[in-house]
Structures are given as structure tokens and as C-alpha cells.
Chains A and B, each alone.
Chain A
Amino acid sequence: MNQFQYSRPTKQQAAIDAVAKDPNAAFIAGGTNLVDLMKRGVTSPQKLVDINRLPLGKIESQNNGLRIGALALNSAVAEDRQVREKQPLLALALNAGASPQLRNMATVGGNMLQRTRCAYFYDTTMPCNKRQPGTGCGALEGVNRMHAIFGFSDKCIAVHPSDMSVALVALDAVVQVSGPKGNRSIPFADFHRLPGDTPEKDTNLTPGELITAVDVPDGPFTKHVHYQKVRERASYAFALLSVAAALDIDGSNIIKAARLAMGGVAHKPWRLTTAEQMLVGKPATEETFRQAADVAMQGAKSFKYNAYKLKLGPNAIVQALKTAAAA
């Protein structure tokens, strides 16, 4: 691994300035994605700005929701009493990710910003437009079992691997960001981006922008929720695909509100708003869920090795909605 300079500012502005003025500088939080990529020579920042001394780890209730600090650990958020009461879907998604040890290191900000990636991105002997723009995409004609079925371009077909982010996009979270030009809020659905012609960019953050918190608005999704993760072993593996489902169901089994999102299918966490709209006002039955799944999968396209996702996807959606309804 290359040598790098290390700093540990205690002031937020100092951290932002340090990264904003130097294109070879990067923030480091839990390090579980960045250290991995640095060890493999995929990325080699010359300066690391350790943000762990900034006071960004709190989980607080505010007016209409929860504010989760960017440095809150994945394990701490999943175990937090308020999160479990108000946003059980988020706790479920977090606990489906990585391992207990990694969740004790991984932060909320870092989890969102883990790279959208694939095995070719890691293999520095292979072409990859995301790692090295213009070299081509190794996965397009390669082993693309894990890859996207929605929203890809011919430049990149990788998926965003975060479980937490699938829940956050479903729950209409808002990302709070502070940068060289001040503060701004970014709706979660607009935070990550599709690859288009610039697959090297995973998100709409600009250089030096620091995530300070994620706000999750209160909602009716405190009971009928489920995070369905399909993976090759029971635990401690990235998703082949996943579904976050949240329902609000009235006394006569009619769906009053619905949220649905998928992971492992696109370059960003994939919200399924058309299917959500279709669910509202319908009875919470398997037939309804099957119709929603059909709507959700419209427009999906597969590659040589990931056609299984076209069948697995709708089944996982039905399963997630059924389990959520029964919860």
C-alpha cells in the first residue's frame, strides 16, 4: 500500500477544507471499505482525513423524525431503541449486512458511500470504466451474475451493495451534507446516481462534501415491515438481490400506504414507486402482491449470467410483502 499523510481534525470545517482543496485527499470513517480498496491498490489517496473525532455519532429524535449522525455505527443504529420502535425496517436491513464485527466499525455515512462495484472493479488487471474511465467494462461480456437489471448503461452494469441504503430510500430519508459552499439536504433517492457516461461517479456529492447526518421522517411503518435478502449462504454475504417492504394496513386488511425498494439490482438503491402506488387501496393479499411484483419488474433486462434475477426478483418481492403483512 502507498504511504499517505494522516490527519485527525476535531473541527468539521477543517476536515471539509482538507478534502475540498486536495483532489487526492479522502475522508475515512470506519475504514471497512476504504482500507479494503487501498490494500488492493484499487484506490490510493495521498491524504486521509480521519473524521472520527468529529461529534457526528448521535441518534436523536427531532420534530418529525430521527436524525442519525453520519458517524453512528451500523451496530449502534440497529440496536437503538428509537430506531427499533420508529423505523424497524432500517434495523432489519442493517442487521442483514456484513458481520457483527464489521457493523461495529462501519458508519452510516461510510455505508452509503461504499463504492458501487463488482469483482472486475477489484481486479486491477481487468478493464473497468469505474476504476479507470475509458478502459471498458469487464463485466459487460464477462461473468455478470451479480450485476444490474435496471438503470445500467453500456459503460457500467455494477450494483450498489448496501443493505442499509435500500431501507433508507424506501423510508424517504434525507441526507444532510456540509461542504465548502455550505450545507444542503439531498433526498435519499437523489443521493446515488445511475452510471450513464460517467460510471466513476457513484453519487451526487461534490468534492469535499461531508455527510453529517441522515434524517428519517416518522411514518406509519412501525409494524408491517420486512427486509428480504437473498444470498448464497445464510449470512455474511452480499445480496444477490434484496427487497425492503413496508406496509400500513387498516382494520379491514386494506393497504393504506406502501413502500418498496430493491437492492442488488441497480447502480443505486432502487425505489419501486409505481408498484407502491398500485398497492394502495388494495387488499393485502398474495394476489395483490403478485400484481405489484409484476409492475415492479417492468423494464428489467438481464445479461448472460444474471437472468435468474428476473425470476428471483418478483418472488422476493411477493415474499417480502407477505412477511411484512404478517408481521
Chain B
Amino acid sequence: MNTEPENASPHDDSRRTFLKQSTLLTAMALVPGPVVSAAEAKLDERVAEAIEQVPLSLKVNGKKLKLSVEPRTTLLDLLREQLHLNGTKKGCDYGQCGACTVHVDGQRVNSCLSFAVMHDGKEITTIEGLADGDKLHPMQEAFVKHDGFQCGYCTPGQIMSAVACVREGHAGSEGEIREYMSGNICRCGAYSNIVAAIQDVKKGGQKV
């Protein structure tokens, strides 16, 4: 088993990355190797008998990862607690606020309401994966330009949802944007600026 990203990027040498990898390695060390490989071989056809960890392959923000998780770990907890991608926020933890929005194979979902194992083989994009190196994504730029946030807690979810909203073709009018952004609650009430940011990106016609 290997928790190293297969294509390590230049940003990987930060202390945070080191820490999260070492935490993961520690966690992995607790799982006997044979148990994991037995599970790997049979999971698709059989119940993972009496094992507490199941193997999971994911591509997260472009990096292929081979992980081991408890089945009850939600995708949100995997991202935040195991992978230390803390940009994705936990608001309600029950599908009601949208703070945990990420893309799975390009579709926006609430990461708090699904188990990580259910996404085996899928590609996950979080707010950390949106920028192109140091260059902000057009939606991130538009949120800055239009003051699309106050406290910022809902913002990663808003931005992930906003990108999907434009890609889906649901940003045609203010009304449509409001309807299709209704899964993201903002307690600070930054809604009109969020709508303005999305309209700006949509009008600009950039690739999002």
C-alpha cells in the first residue's frame, strides 16, 4: 500500500503535506497488510468480512491516491481529517447547507452525505484543486472582485457550486442562478454579491 501521490506536484513539500502523509502512514501501519490485500481482491463481490478498513483508490485534485478507510468515513471526513484538505467546510453535516460541496467526476455533491468508499475509482475536485498553480480560478477571482463573502465559511462550497452551476448551463439569468445556487446557504447573506460574481464569470465567457 502506498499513500504517496503518484504524481507529486511542486507544491507538495509543504509542512502540511508532510504532516498529512505521515498521519496517513501511521494510520496505514495499523492495518495488517494481508487484511488489506484480501479485502482488495474480494470487495467487489463479497462483503469485507470483519475488517474495519477497506481499500479505496481516488484521484483527488489530480493526484492518484491509494487509501484505506473505515466504511463509515464520509467523503467530507476523509478529505478534512485524513487528507487534511481543510478548504472543504463542515457546516451542518446533514446535507442542508452546501459548505461541503465538492465535485465528483465533475458533478457537484454534498460530501457530508456519502461514504468515501462509495466513490472508489472516482475523481474528486475540492476548492484546493480549482486554482491553476498560483493563478486563481476565474470564479475565485470573481468572488474576490465582487466581495462574494464576508466570514468566508460558506465560500469554498459556494465557489465549487458556482463553477458547476455555470458548467451545467444553469447561470442564464439572476433567477436561474438563485434557484440553482439554493443548495448553498450563506449565514452572512452575501447572496447578491455571489450572484454578481457568477454573472460576471458567465458574461466573461471564460472557460470555467
A interface, CB within 8 angstroms of B:
1-11, 14, 18, 28, 30-32, 35-36, 38-40, 47-48, 50, 52-53, 75, 98-102, 104-105, 234-236
Contact = CB atoms under 8 A, between A and B. Distances in A.
Contacts of B149: none
B93 A48 contact: no
Contacts of B117: 6, 8, 50
Contacts of A234: 178, 182
The majority secondary structure among interface residues of chain B is loop
Nearest to B74: A35
A105 B113 contact: yes
Interface residues of B, number: 42
B47 A100 contact: no
Interface of B: 43-50, 52, 54, 70-72, 74, 93-95, 98, 101, 107-110, 113-115, 117-118, 120, 161, 164-165, 168, 170, 178-185
Contacts, number: 111
Contacts of A30: 114
A235 B98 CA distance: 14
B40 to A, nearest CB: 12
Residue with the greatest number of chain B CB neighbours at <10 A, chosen from A3, A7, A18, A99: A99
A6 B54 contact: yes
Contacts of B47: 5-7, 18, 47
Contacts of A101: 95, 98, 101, 108-110, 161, 183
A100 B52 contact: no
B70 A31 contact: no
Contacts of B71: 3-6, 48
A8 B44 contact: yes
13 contacts: A3-B52, A7-B47, A8-B44, A31-B115, A35-B115, A39-B93, A100-B180, A104-B107, A104-B109, A105-B113, A105-B114, A234-B182, A235-B178
A30 B183 CA distance: 17
B182 A235 contact: yes
A35 B75 CA distance: 11
Contacts of B113: 31-32, 35-36, 102, 105
B191 to A, nearest CB: 12
Nearest to B161: A101
Contact of B110 (A7, A40, A47, A105): A105
Contacts of B184: 99
A41 to B, nearest CB: 12
B170 A6 contact: no
B107 A7 contact: no
A324 B109 CA distance: 32
